[in-house]
Amino acid sequence: MVDQSAVGRAFTPVTARVEPGRLRFFLDTLGETNPVYRDGSAAPVPPTYLFCLEMMDATVPFEFLTALGIDLARVLHGEQRFDYHAPVVIGDTLTFHPRVASVTDKKGGAMTLIVVDTPVTNQNGVHVADVSRTIVVRNARPS
């Protein structure tokens, strides 16, 4: 079970390039037809793209689960939030810096909510976004 000692723990930064082909694939998969996202190199990425980009380019997918001893079979995706501070466009190289922001037990310890906050910077060092995700872990029942 994950406890308060995990708060503040940082994980390996992930660097990813916003490539036109991968972005187009993402848009097509979603059925996103809004031309604002398809207007060449000045087009902004859709809000949820950063979540996918970080996961696709991680050297060790789900590193935080392994590092915290969490069984993937017990995990649910609780929520995610994206706060953009500057545009992210095709050609940007982004660096994601994930860390555990909070750990909260619920339902008498039957589940644990883990919030992972991830500041994102671009190739110029500009803080372009903050991505936050809440992971719900179903804890094993005591025997």
pLDDT at 37 exceeding the cut of 70: yes
**Residue 95 included in any domain:** yes
Domain residue limits at 90: 4-138
Q: How confident is the model at residue 143 (pLDDT cuts 50, 70, 90)?
A: low
Q: What is the mean pLDDT of the chain?
A: 91
Residue 24 lies in a domain: yes
pLDDT digits (tens, 9 = 90+) for 75-132: 999 999 999 999 999 999 999 999 999 999 998 889 999 999 999 999 999 999 999 9
Q: Which amino acid is at 116?
A: V
In a domain, 94, yes or no: yes
**Half-sphere exposure (Cβ direction) of 115: Cα atoms closer than 13 Å:** 11
The answer to whether residue 23 sits within a structural domain is yes
In a domain, residue 31? The reply is: yes
Domain count across the chain: 1
CATH number at residue 32: 3.10.129.10
Residue 15 to residue 96: CA distance in whole angstroms: 6
Give 57-92 as a DSSP string. Answer: H-SSTTHHHHHTT--GGGEEEEEEEEEESS--BTT-
Domain assignment present for 143: no
